[in-house]
Amino acid sequence: MPAQQNKATVCRLFEEVWNKNDLDVAKDIIHDDYRSGENITFEAMRGLEVLAKDMKFYREMYSDLTFTIEQMFTEGDTVVTVWRATGVATNEFFTDRLSKKRNKELKAEGVSLSRIADGKLIENTLYWPREPLSP
């Protein structure tokens, strides 16, 4: 049953924490020593603080950021999740055929490797294209 519990924890990360921006749920599922592969800027931070900064960074870049889980696999204490991300860029624009300036849309696919320790997420690394994700 630990594999199913690990998958459920990672589902909560995407569906409740990221999609609903619910940091109260994050308090239940994030280990005090949590680290993120996304925390390039916040390398020395651990725990809920680094997740909150990652979320703030991406939410400022993309409104309506939403993750949809496509598949999940487990191996030991690691959960592999294949997902899609959608949203609207807040600072990236294009000019359409009618010469109207519009926000770029995010449509990306990615994979994350999430490691569980003591029933909580201790490490999460997302692999996704940097374009159009980063300005």
pLDDT single digits (tens) 94-116: 777 778 887 888 888 999 999 99
- Whole-number pLDDT of residue 118: 94
Residues 30-50: pLDDT tens digits?
999 998 876 455 566 789 998
pLDDT value at position 41? Answer: 56
Residue 77 has pLDDT above 70, yes or no: yes
Fold of 2-127: Nuclear Transport Factor 2; Chain: A, (3.10.450)
The helix, strand and coil proportions of the chain, stated in percent and rounded to the nearest 5, come to 30, 45, 25
Round to whole Å and give the CA distance between 91 and 103. 7
Single pTM value for the model: 0.85
Q: What's the rounded Cα separation, in Å, for the pair 110 and 85?
A: 8
Q: Show me where the domains of the chain are located.
A: 2-127
Checking if the pLDDT of 127 tops 90, the result is no
